[in-house]
Amino acid sequence: MGELSVTLCGIELGNPIIPASGTFGYGAEFSALYDLDILGSFSFKGTTRNPREGNPLPRIAESPDGMLNAVGLQNPGVNRVIAEELPRLKRSFHKPVMANVSGFSIEDYAETCAKLDQEEQIGWLEVNISCPNVHGGGMSFGTDPCQAAAVTRAVKEVTTKPVIMKLTPNVTDIAAIAKACEDAGADGLSLINTVTAMRIDLKTRRPVLANTTGGLSGPAVFPVALRAVWQVYEAVRIPVVGLGGISSAENVIEMMLAGATAVEVGAANLRDPFACPKIISALPKTMKNYGISSLKEIIGGAHAK
């Protein structure tokens, strides 16, 4: 059997499969379906300083080979996550978990990350500067290198755990944003978040989503994500987590060859709640088919040496 383990920012994972934030809640729903400990880790629901109800309905739309969402970071707020969700999580998941954090100001990010940094089960802080579905925050920090660096520095000043900055593809030069985060102290990067998109209802002649636009995810964005991971891997020295349209073991290997140390599986979880266990189960045979004995050895393997 091939060796599936990888090391992400100093923490070893039994395999590189991480359900992506926004597609896995805080783990409770999926723990009723299978043993969560088979996962490498998972990134829990995007958490903000204060509770959020999210955007108005409708906020989900179908698209060929994907879906659009404009949920708008609905969550109970960091204090309730710490008081209620993390104690519940400890009963079903016994590995370090990735905390996904969003904010509307640099102070928001810093305060939320500082609180989560104190929690024993948190392994990494995934700082989302890339959400396209909120106004006055999220992606506004991730489209400018100076703003991205400022958030990174602020979070690093108040935390001790690895900080992974989550980047948006909705920029001209994602490598420049990645380098700015690295220079500001980021321990890793995750990419990509969703691609800004929209649909129009032909009967009403109005946008399908109440928010007008949403984030496109699913297989349609995989080539975009792969390109972004390739470019960022060439630009930085810190680990990259690849996500965007991954739905098979073959996708995982392709993303790792592009430069990903680990991968996040997003929309596939919404289509099939057993998507991650199926990918993990398929990895050894797929590795054998392509002559791969260890996943660690193929990270960035498609780049010229």
Q: Which residues are catalytic?
A: 131
Closest C-alpha among 172, 144, 159, 170 to residue 112: 159
Closest C-alpha among 183, 164, 168 to residue 262: 164
Token duo for residue 17? 């499969």
Hey, how many other C-beta atoms are within 10 angstroms of the C-beta on 54?
Answer: 15
The rounded distance, in Å, linking the Cα atoms of 150 and 155 is 9
The rounded distance, in Å, linking the Cα atoms of 30 and 22 is 13
Helix (H, G, I), strand (E, B), or coil: what is residue 172? coil
Is the sign of the CA dihedral 153, 109, 129, 78 positive or negative? positive
256 to 6, 53, 236, 295: CA distances (angstroms): 11, 36, 15, 8
Element (H, E) at 291: none
Q: DSSP of 61-91, one letter per residue?
A: EEETTEEEE-----B--HHHIIIIIHHHHHT
Please, what is the Cα angle at 209 between 205 and 215, to 5 degrees? 125
Residue entry with tokens 């999926």: 30
The answer to whether 102 and 52 have CB atoms below 8 angstroms apart is: no
**The one-letter amino acid at 240:** V
